[in-house]
Structure 1
Amino acid sequence: MEKIAVFPGSFDPITKGHESVIKRALPLFDRIVVAMGVNTTKNYLFPKEQRLEWLHQIFEGEPKIEVREYSQLTVDFCKEIGAKYLLRGLRNSLDFNYEKNIAHMNQAMEPDIETIFILTTPDLAAINASIVREIYKNKGNIQQFIPQKINIPQP
């Protein structure tokens, strides 16, 4: 049976931290689906089409990574594609507490889906998409915080 993991997120924008966690998890799975979902509590800065394009650019040429979009509950998307694992990155204890609660709720809804946590590397631990958005909105240069394969011009 193929080991499929889903790395869900809104990727507004994708950061070097996201990219690092996904690439470092590759040896653990047969396939990782980078899944751009809809968070009803977020007001997105970058359009959905742009975020999907960036994901495709970053993971182009990596046969074990697939980029998909979804709009249902993450566990339902996992069931739909046969994924038994959710992959999440952790920067700090705040992330852990937040992600642990989501993992427990997902486990209650779908006991067969396991959440796997991977720590970010220390050099990327401070990068946060919310902070990157604020830097961008205030006309700061965000290139050092996002993957090299994408270029987001300053506003």
Structure 2
Amino acid sequence: MKKVAVFAGSFDPFTLGHLDIVKRASALFDELWVVIFENASKKYMLDEGTRMQLIQKAVKGLKNVKVDCAAGLTVDYMKMVKAKYLVRGIRGAADVDYEQSIAWNNKVLYPECETVFLSSSPEHLRVSSTVVRELLKVGVAKNADGKEILAKYVPAEVITILSSIN
């Protein structure tokens, strides 16, 4: 039986930490869906189409990775694509507490769901979409060394797109 997994998030924007998790998860599963979910309590810097474009560029060489957008519950999407695994990245203790709670609730809603936690690689422990958004808001991308700074946080394939924002 084919092992199908989902890696869900808002990805606003997609970072090197996300890409690291995608690469590692794609080696574990036959098919990996990277799915952009909207969170009603969040205000997004990038629209859904731009986020999808960024992710598609970043994962282009990974043959078993598919990118999609969805609304609603992650477990409902998992059922639709016949995924039994939900991949989650963990950066620290705070993430573990939060993610364990979500994993328990997902298991209640979809008993076949197994949440797979992948610890961030050490070089990506401090990389977050929030930091990238802040750097973009203050105009780092417009500085002479902005692309060099962004390269520490986001995949090379997306720097040009991010540099044109703001």
The two structures share one fold, judged by TM-score above 0.5: yes
Tell me what 2:163 maps to: 153
- Partners of 1:78 and 1:105 in 2: CA distance: 14
How high is the TM-score relative to the length of structure 2? 0.89
Tell me what 1:72 maps to: 72
| Comparing 137-146 and 69-78, the one that deviates more | 137-146
> Cα offset for 1:143?
3.4
| Comparing 140-149 and 32-41, the one that deviates more | 140-149
SS of 2:157 mapped into structure 1:
coil
Tell me what 2:114 maps to: 114
- Partners of 1:62 and 1:18 in 2: CA distance: 14
- Partners of 2:163 and 2:132 in 1: CA distance: 13
> Cα offset for 1:138?
1.4
How high is the TM-score relative to the length of structure 1? 0.96
1:2-21 matches, cutoff 5 A: 2-21=2-21
- Partners of 2:135 and 2:48 in 1: CA distance: 20
> Cα offset for 1:98?
1.0
Unaligned runs of 5+ in 2: 141-145
Q: Percent of pairs identical after alignment? A: 35
- Partners of 1:144 and 1:122 in 2: CA distance: 13
Higher Rg: 2
Matched, 1:131 2:131: yes
Q: What is the root-mean-square deviation in Å for CA atoms of aligned residues? A: 1.1
- Partners of 2:130 and 2:43 in 1: CA distance: 11
> Cα offset for 1:148?
1.2
SS of 1:28 mapped into structure 2:
coil
Stretches of 4+ moved more than 3 A in 1?
A: none
SS of 2:117 mapped into structure 1:
strand
- Partners of 2:27 and 2:135 in 1: CA distance: 34
> Cα offset for 1:31?
0.7
